[in-house]
Amino acid sequence: MVILKITMIYTQNIMSKYQDLKQQCYEANMELNALNLVIYTFGNVSAVDRSDSVFAIKPSGVPYELLKPEDIVILDFENKVVEGSKRPSSDTKTHAWLYKNWEKIGGIAHTHATYSVAWAQSQRDIPIFGTTHADHLTSDIPCAEPMRDDLIEGNYEHNTGIQITDCFRERGLDYEEVPMVLIGNHGPFTWGKDAAKAVYHSKVLEEVARMAYLTLQINPQAPRLKEALIKKHYERKHGKNAYYGQ
């Protein structure tokens, strides 16, 4: 009986330790669903606790209407479950790789949103056509090449993470300045300072993808936004003399 009580107290302490992290992850996942960025159970968001080197992520295949904060799974960066009785998202190893290699991100989101996926399936970067795009980043949104067969047959989700970091390294991109990517024939991943910002970037990516698609329908020869407007719109939000907002 004494051992049972000690075990219960220990379990409660562990649960309370990650309660805030689970709640943050839960709310971000519910927001992903509320923004119509996911279909059925597709898609996931994670949130990291750098002090403990763990992250929280949605459990695999759980419908959003049934998801509860206590369902969220806690793992370390080696994909070992620290807390949780459910199986974590099938994309967990991708999240773990990005957290382990990109130390300044606090949340990651993955969706199967229609326009973002359409661009990924076309294997095309999303060109920077307008100021909505430039308000958030100064480059085209990159689309990583489809994964090689030998990597698909290997540790697929882990290799998806490598696919993302390799794309940024090869193109000389800064993951803090470009918080989003398309995986060829797969779909988008986004990240940010926390889980909520990762979801925000998922919505921005989907809207920019939709706008770019419509732009090319109206004018297939639409020109890229000129550099002066790119610089102006990005720096008024993100530059050292930014003046957007309160």
Q: For residues 87 and 217, give the distance between their C-alpha atoms in angstroms, rounded to a whole number.
A: 42
Tell me which residue of 104, 61, 116 sits closest to 191, measured CA to CA. 104
Number of other residues whose CB lies within 10 A of the CB of residue 138: 17
Tokens of 220: 């297939």
Residue 135 appears among annotated catalytic residues: yes
* End-to-end C-alpha distance for the chain, whole angstroms: 58
Tell me which H or E stretch contains 108: strand 107-110
Choose the catalytic residue: 49, 135, 140, 194: 135
Active site residue 125: no
| DSSP-derived pairing of the beta strands 143-144 and 54-57 | unpaired
Give, in order, the Cα–Cα distances in Å from 23 to each of 161, 191, 192, 230: 25, 18, 17, 37
Give the catalytic positions in this structure: 135, 244
